[in-house]
Amino acid sequence: MIHQKIDTERLRLRRWKREDHAPFAELCSDPYVMQFIGNGSTRTAEQAGRSIASFEREWDEKGYGLFAVEEKRTGDLIGFTGLSRPDFLPEILPSIEIGWRFSRPSWGKGHASEAAAAALSFGVTELGISDIVSICQIGNRASVRIMQKLGMVFDRETIDPTCGREIEVYRLPEQLE
Ligand SMILES: CC(C)(COP(=O)(O)OP(=O)(O)OC[C@H]1O[C@@H](n2cnc3c(N)ncnc32)[C@H](O)[C@@H]1OP(=O)(O)O)[C@@H](O)C(=O)NCCC(=O)NCCS
């Protein structure tokens, strides 16, 4: 079985555990974190718990998923990154999405870039997935910057059918026609 754990210089990417529920609920209750996600609304602790259950289900059923990201120095959960199937945007399927979400205190330190690069490399090298996109709402400049740093290139602008907001799709260049 492929090892679903990655250590980078400062971070550990791993499967989810019970202790992650409280810190994940806290970051999903932060309006700054959630402003570019869906309709921008924050999540309850119960909704955040259901999200963790669905992340774990995707790992079990599909063999890829969103990693919990922990800072090695403190052991704190600071966010997630990894692969998921973008069912909310049927026009992009069967591409797989790489995404990320980090707690506000962790921003600005390169953690998201470091974790996303490791998750992308895991997807391409370990899992053999190359049809990878990344999707963000217009205005989410930090996310676009991470996509560019990952070597992804602009693919299209479209609308998120679940909330009506404008989104940008970036793609790993091998998949450009
Ligand atoms: C997107 C997110 C993970 C970025 O976190 P971060 O800590 O700023 O990420 P990093 O430190 O790795 O840096 C990201 C890059 O974007 C740049 N950046 C950060 N904020 C920016 C902004 N407002 N405008 C332009 N660039 C920005 C950084 O300078 C860095 O680029 P650099 O390495 O060339 O200097 C974080 O803001 C977040 O969790 N947001 C909420 C969740 C979210 O929107 N997820 C994505 C949904 S598509």
Query: Tens digits of per-residue pLDDT, 91-108?
Result: 999 999 999 999 999 999
pLDDT at 20: 98
Note down the domain range covering 45: 6-175
Going by alpha carbons, the residue nearest to atom 13 of ligand 1 is 110
Going by alpha carbons, the residue nearest to atom 36 of ligand 1 is 102
Tokens for 177? 């026609």
- Mean pLDDT for the stretch of residues 2-8: 88
Going by alpha carbons, the residue nearest to atom 31 of ligand 1 is 145
Tell me whether strands 153-159 and 77-84 are parallel, antiparallel or unpaired: unpaired
Please report whether residue 23 resides in a domain.
yes
Closest atom, ligand 1, to C-alpha of 32: 41
- CA 143 to CA 112: how far, in whole Å? 9
Q: Please give the tally of structural domains in the chain.
A: 1
Going by alpha carbons, the residue nearest to atom 6 of ligand 1 is 107
- CA 124 to CA 58: how far, in whole Å? 17
pLDDT at 177: 46
pLDDT digits (tens, 9 = 90+) for 131-166: 999 999 999 999 999 999 999 999 999 999 999 999
pTM: 0.96
Provide the 3-class DSSP secondary structure of residue 132.
Answer: strand
Q: With 80 as the cut, is the pLDDT of residue 1 above it?
A: no
| Local confidence band at 4 (pLDDT 50, 70, 90 cut-offs) | confident
Q: With 60 as the cut, is the pLDDT of residue 176 above it?
A: no
pLDDT at 168: 98
**142 CA to centre of ligand 1 in angstroms:** 3
Provide the 3-class DSSP secondary structure of residue 144.
Answer: helix
- C-alpha distance across the termini of the chain, in Å: 33
**76 CA to centre of ligand 1 in angstroms:** 19
Going by alpha carbons, the residue nearest to atom 7 of ligand 1 is 107
Ligand 1: lining residues by beta carbon, under 6 Å: 33, 36-37, 99-102, 107-113, 136, 140-143, 145-146
- Mean pLDDT for the stretch of residues 105-128: 97
pLDDT digits (tens, 9 = 90+) for 35-93: 999 999 999 999 999 999 999 999 999 999 999 999 999 999 999 999 999 999 999 99
Q: With 90 as the cut, is the pLDDT of residue 174 above it?
A: no
**5 CA to centre of ligand 1 in angstroms:** 23
Provide the CATH number for the domain around residue 60. Answer: 3.40.630.30
Pocket test for ligand 1, best of 29, 71, 100 (most atoms within 8 A of CB): 100
At a CB cut-off of 8 Å and minimum separation 6, what does 116 contact? Answer: 81, 98, 100, 146, 150
CA distances from 153 to 77, 88, 98, 105 (A): 30, 21, 13, 29
Please report whether residue 1 resides in a domain.
no
Please report whether residue 61 resides in a domain.
yes
